[in-house]
Structure 1
Amino acid sequence: MFDSPLSASAYEVLGVDPTVDEESLRRAYRLRLRQTHPDTGGDAAVFVQVQRAWELVGTPVARAAYDRGHGFGAASAPEWSGFRPPVRTQTRDTRPRARSFGHPGGWRRERYLDLIREWAGRGVTLDDPYDPALVRSAPHHLKRLLADALAEEATARIVSDLGMGYTVWHDVVADERDPDAKLDHIVLGPSGLYGVLSEDFGGPVRLRRGELIGEGVSGSPIAELVRSMRAVARAARVRFGGAIVVLPDEDLEQAITEVGRVKGVPVAVVSRSGLATVMRRGMTGAREIGGNEVFDVRTRLQQTVRFA
């Protein structure tokens, strides 16, 4: 909840300055509880955020750890991976993995690095472009790029663990004429062929008339996902079984919501913790594939997919 580049800090949720003393912090917490409690007309989602914020900074030990890890105070924790790209470990992992192609989040990370340096200005050396304090001060569109890169990387880790029966393509170009038109992930497995969008809007979202809405939502994410899938399907001469939008757990009231068909494609909105379940069991109305067809679809995609 508080580790997204788009999320408010624990202090912002509680409505205080990061340097506030402990007694003032406690008073602010109690005030925010009263203001946001659902029984008094408050927002349930914000009420949960207030409670979580207090868990992170409500004691001196917890607060010190939070400050070190999120760029508050004199020094941040050098070991905190934060917003940096995932690092491959040297530990041997013998678990079977899905076959994976492309670089999840790579296009958005490259774009973020270019723009954050441009925003900082010429002649300014950025020792760490992922420093939490720097990210927090960056314009919203830069934080959004980084948040989406992190979301794609999180999805990639989940689908990788599905096993060798799955093949995944990341950061796929949907339209050669439009550099921003891409499909975050294509997942092929026993339950079908899916187009997947990984998002982080920085706050709660909900559905209205088959589309996502919320304070941080712009455009029509589901419609755009289906449009990108159709472009890839035409080029590769394949049929997608369904479309999946993956969001952080705390941004959804339900782990799995089947939206129905959008332009003829079954759509589901799922939390990260619910993604593996949907991939394994499939979706209502999604077309399962197997046998020689899996091989044929994989071959067609391998021959036509281009990466962003």
Structure 2
Amino acid sequence: MAQRQTHYDLLGIGPTATATEIKSAYRKAARLTHPDHGGSAEDFAEVTLAYETLIDADSRARYDRSYGTESSYLRGKAPAGAGHGSNPAPAAGDSVRFGTNGSRPTTSDATIYLPGLDEPGAIDRATSVSQVHGAPRKRGIFGAQARLARENRTVQLISRQLLPLLPAARLINGLHAPGGGYIDHALLGGYRLALVHSMMLPKGVYRWDGTSLLRDGKHIDPPKIAPLVHDMQALFPEMNVTGWTVILSPDGNLHEPVIDYARGGEPGPMNAVNVVNAVKLVREMKMFLGTGPAPHVVDRTILGRLLGGMH
């Protein structure tokens, strides 16, 4: 069997690459492997896992100590001398990194809770296993009924179209933002976090270039979600945090309105802000949350911290 490529090989960089070089290499590899550009979900997941491992100093250091033997563990066979000398045997925590038969974990693997459901944690068992937490709420004395209806539409979309496919994902609605204001929805999957806001716009074709949303030359301001992503990333450095604005159609058509993307504006995990319609949100969330390094894990500590920020 051929030697499995290391994370460095997958990104086309050397072991001494800087954080800037890692980010640049990932952007190129992500564009080449993303299914929207003719790549495969498997290849895209591999390069994303490589990026998330190497961009964090602690996980990179752990990887650098072990990647020489990782290919043997992925085949389900420890290298010769494992546990006897410098090559350590797989630790108990490897169930987070490796799924069924030693393969990379997927959403179909049995859900793992950290700490376990029988161990003390920040939240109780019933809260841990529930997939949906909270609901859209009034803000201040007067609640905007249109906003509440729009947010409820988003909750229904995620609950019906996405959560059944991602057993370990958790949806938290109505969060206080760290710097003030609110986060409509937070979608947690393994060690990835998507912040989701919404807009209701008429049918038609809109253009998104990564910063501006246009229709017939008219500029439309999407929700200002980039600062929220920045603040939440600072609060949860162990997470990969991204922002998403879903544009909903008044008649409930998931394919409307149509979003036309300028070069550089396509949705992706490297963007602080992404603009999508309903069907694209479901597709991109399946990709973003389902291809992370531990999509089958519910970290009860992180979930508890998020729930503590609900208003």
TM-score between both structures, scaled by the size of structure 1: 0.44
Q: Which structure has greater helix proportion?
A: 1
TM-score w.r.t. the length of structure 2 is 0.44
Higher relative contact order (CA 8 A, sep 6+): 2
